Structure 1
Amino acid sequence: MSITAQLRDSVRLPGGDALVNGYALESRSGWARRTLIRNGHELEVYDLDELFTGETAPTAVFPVPWPGWDRGVDSVSPDAAFAVFSGQRAVRAVSSAGETLWEYRHSCWGPAFGHSHTGDEQEVCRGLEHGSCRVSDDGRLVWAHVVVGVHDRDWDDWHECWVVLDARDGRELAQLRLDSAAAGSHHVSHPDGIHVGLCIGMGQDGILLYWARWDGEKLTSWDLNDGMDRILTDVHPDHAGFLTVEHYGTDVRLHMLDGTVLATGAPEAADGKDPAWWDYGCGFVDGGTVIATTVDADEDSERAVRHWLLDGRTLEIRGTPTYPTGANGSYVRPLGDGTWLTYDSTSETLYRWSEPAS
């Protein structure tokens, strides 16, 4: 079934592809949405709703502490007073004036065993491996995925950790040792403002998924890695579970917070013949609707990415959205408020869509 999407807003936004094909959009409890776009040696922060009303100037701009390092997933405080950067050898909080507020040093993400450093903080070591960080919804904590240990002293002492830091001074409050060897990671804040998810991609070795909360004294965590191998993509806007996609795209699932599976959705080939698989572009348009993308086995660029609307409770396919602007090969970013984003790289235009009004 074809469902004609209704164009709600559009704005020209160079670099906006990171919103639909990356982690440049931060949604927080209350559904405040900020856009984080790297522009040269600066991180520009935009209010998404203001962008669509014509306010195209960033609400805040932060100097990037390591201009040569373009990996890691960074985060900005709810009031945009500071940004926290996930570096190759440190997590650093920076004010909009460029002042370093604090730094949490950790081991190097570079994969070479026993490699040394020159002492220049701008040195970027070989490798694409990286961690991520996330400022809590109340602005009091920073969650960070880091490396601990010394490569050239004791290989057995080198491991990855999930740490909770005090956002005021970077002091470590808690640490959870992880059984991972990351290629990269990302965080997801639960809309309840308490729980935080961490998804770690390990390339061909699979995916690890954790949830945790900090009550001011104790870190409580649980992993969902017993045969799951699933990518964390989104959390229900009304707290009614979270979505994952299987590592190789065989299905999408809705889970309770403890990992219990509530529903499973299988991909459908557009022509009924060629196999397809879900991509990681998947999330809640609103409480009753999920939008997801498939990648067809046919690698024809005009057919590669397709959008599907699913029932938010059963994950059964309801139909495929079609767009008045023509064919859309973009990935998608649902916003949880009844709308979703696509991006046209040719015109550098960000679009916001909804289903047609009933």
Structure 2
Amino acid sequence: MSITAQLRDSVRLPGGDALVNGFAFESRGDGPRRALLESGHELEVHDLVEVFAGERAPTAVFPLPWPGWGRGVHSVSPDGSFAVFSGQRAVRAVSVGGETLWEYRHGCWGPEIGHAHTGDEQEVCRGLEHGSCRVSDDGRLVWAHVVVEPEDQDWQECWVVLDARDGRELARLPLDSAASGSHHLSHPDGIHMGLCIGMGQDGILLHWARWDGAKLTSWDLNETMDRILTDVHTGLPGFLTVEHYGADLRLHALDGAVLAEEAPEPADDEDPPCWDYGCGFVDADTVIASTVESDEDPDRARHWLLDARTLEIRGAVAYPTGPVDSCVRPLGDGTWLTYDDTSETLNRWIEAAS
């Protein structure tokens, strides 16, 4: 069965591919859905509602504190007054005017044997590894995945909770990881924070935690999981994951219990397809997932709509413009995004009325 999509909005947005194939998208429950796009030596913040209304100017612009550092996953406060950057050797909060509000120093993500830092804060060491950070939905905390260097050992990754006002460390959770990268996902309940750590061929680690002002409570789901954390939704209690290599998609309760599971729909004349990692909730009733990257033929790329509670496949999406080989980014409000690299166009879709 095919399900027809209807084009709701379309706008040219250079760099917008990072919204559907990266970590430039940031949402906060029922709050604004924003694009955090790096442009030159700046981070531009765009409200997607305003973008599709024709507003080209960003709502805020922050200078990148380390112009030579092109990795890390950054975050912007709910009110847009400051950004927090995940650097190679520090987490730094910066105001719209470019003022450094505070800095939390940590170990280097890219050290080399025998390499000593020159003292130049703009120095970037070799290596692709990076951490990530996330401002809490109430703007009071910053969660960050960092490297620390305890006296009794050379290297330790940690998840830290920082006071958003001054960068003071409130809590620390040691991690058993050797990351290539990571990303955070804020639960719409405003209490829980998720951390997904990618370790390349060594797999994925997934943690959830909450901070009550005095105690950090955390739990990992790694004895039985090798899964990428992809999305949560205000109207549902749990979260969505995809298996490391795309074998299946699962809906979980917050404690990790599996509520539903679905594998990609096979085709008789093809190798078994795999889910892409960019799946998520179109709304509280519908999940969208794609099998674009596992099909070398762009004309056979597929997006699928699934029931949000059972993950039963409802059908493949049929676009009026023909096959769309873009990854997808659901917005949780009944719509989803695709990106046309050729025209640098961001498209917003909705399921057509039957």
What's the CA shift string for 1:64-119, capped at 9, x where partnerless?
00011000000000010000000000000001111000000000000533421111
Output the amino acid matched with 2:51: L
Alpha-carbon distance between aligned partners in 2 of 1:244 and 1:138, rounded to the nearest angstrom: 25
Match of 2:227 in 1: 230
Alpha-carbon distance between aligned partners in 2 of 1:238 and 1:192, rounded to the nearest angstrom: 10
**Which of 226, 237, 258 in structure 1 is aligned with 2:255?**
258
Alpha-carbon distance between aligned partners in 2 of 1:265 and 1:176, rounded to the nearest angstrom: 33
Alpha-carbon distance between aligned partners in 1 of 2:335 and 2:176, rounded to the nearest angstrom: 37
**Which of 168, 172, 182 in structure 2 is aligned with 1:175?**
172
Match of 1:354 in 2: 350
TM-score of the pair, normalised by structure 1: 0.96
**Which of 271, 274, 284 in structure 1 is aligned with 2:271?**
274
SS at match of 1:221: strand
1:331 aligns with 2:333: no
> 1:104-115 maps to which residues of 2 (within 5 A)?
104-115=104-115
The 8 Å contact of residues 278 and 327 in structure 2, kept in 1 or not, is answered as: yes
Q: Which moved more, 1:66-75 or 1:47-56?
A: 47-56
Q: What displacement does 1:281 show?
A: 1.2
Identity across aligned pairs (percent)?
79
User: What count of residue pairs does the alignment treat as equivalent?
Assistant: 354
Match of 1:88 in 2: 88
When residues 62 and 270 of structure 1 are mapped into structure 2, their CA distance, relative to the original with a 3 A threshold, is farther
1:193 aligns with 2:194: no
Match of 1:43 in 2: 43
The 8 Å contact of residues 192 and 239 in structure 1, kept in 2 or not, is answered as: no
What's the CA shift string for 1:236-291, capped at 9, x where partnerless?
33132100001111100000000000000011135553211111011000111100
Q: Which moved more, 1:313-322 or 1:113-122?
A: 113-122
When residues 297 and 36 of structure 1 are mapped into structure 2, their CA distance, relative to the original with a 3 A threshold, is closer
Alpha-carbon distance between aligned partners in 2 of 1:287 and 1:271, rounded to the nearest angstrom: 32
Q: Which moved more, 1:212-221 or 1:273-282?
A: 273-282
Match of 2:17 in 1: 17
RMSD: 1.4
SS at match of 2:19: helix
Q: What displacement does 1:31 show?
A: 3.4
Alpha-carbon distance between aligned partners in 1 of 2:55 and 2:158, rounded to the nearest angstrom: 39
Output the amino acid matched with 1:212: A
When residues 111 and 183 of structure 1 are mapped into structure 2, their CA distance, relative to the original with a 3 A threshold, is farther
> 1:152-171 maps to which residues of 2 (within 5 A)?
156-171=153-168
TM-score of the pair, normalised by structure 2: 0.97
The 8 Å contact of residues 72 and 86 in structure 1, kept in 2 or not, is answered as: yes
Q: What displacement does 1:298 show?
A: 4.7
Alpha-carbon distance between aligned partners in 1 of 2:247 and 2:309, rounded to the nearest angstrom: 19
Q: Structure 2: where are the runs of 5+ without partners? A: none
> 1:194-213 maps to which residues of 2 (within 5 A)?
194-213=191-210
Match of 1:148 in 2: 148
The 8 Å contact of residues 269 and 296 in structure 1, kept in 2 or not, is answered as: no
Alpha-carbon distance between aligned partners in 1 of 2:29 and 2:145, rounded to the nearest angstrom: 22
Output the amino acid matched with 2:131: G
Q: Structure 1: where are the runs of 5+ without partners? A: none
When residues 328 and 301 of structure 1 are mapped into structure 2, their CA distance, relative to the original with a 3 A threshold, is closer
Q: What displacement does 1:295 show?
A: 4.1
When residues 62 and 271 of structure 1 are mapped into structure 2, their CA distance, relative to the original with a 3 A threshold, is farther
Output the amino acid matched with 2:333: D
Alpha-carbon distance between aligned partners in 2 of 1:115 and 1:294, rounded to the nearest angstrom: 43
What's the CA shift string for 1:281-334, capped at 9, x where partnerless?
11000111100011465523444x421111111111111111112221000000
Match of 2:73 in 1: 73
Match of 1:287 in 2: 284
Match of 1:321 in 2: 317
1:215 aligns with 2:212: yes
Q: Which moved more, 1:26-35 or 1:330-339?
A: 26-35
Match of 2:340 in 1: 344
The 8 Å contact of residues 111 and 129 in structure 1, kept in 2 or not, is answered as: no
